[in-house]
Amino acid sequence: MSRTLPTLPDGRILDVVRAPSHVLSVSGSPVDPADPAMVQLCADLVATMRISPGCVGLAAPQVGVSAQVFCVDVSAHPKTRTMHGLIVLVNAEILEASRNEKAREGCMSVPELTGDVKRATKITVAGQLPLTGERVLISTDAFEARALQHEIDHCAGMLFLDRVVGAHAVYPRKMYLKPPDAGGNAR
Active-site residues: which are they?
151
- φ, ψ dihedrals at 112, nearest 5°: -90, -10
Task: Measure the CA–CA gap between 82 and 104, rounded to whole angstroms.
Answer: 18
Contact 98, 85 (CB under 8 A): no
Angle at the Cα of 58 (from 123 to 108), degrees rounded to 5? 115
Looking at this protein, which amino acid is placed at residue 103? Answer: A
| Cβ atoms within 10 Å, residue 105 | 21
Contact 91, 83 (CB under 8 A): no
Q: Kindly state the DSSP code that residue 129 receives in the 8-state scheme.
A: -
Going from the C-alpha of 173 to that of each of 26, 41, 124, 180, the distances in angstroms are: 25, 29, 30, 21
Contact 9, 40 (CB under 8 A): yes
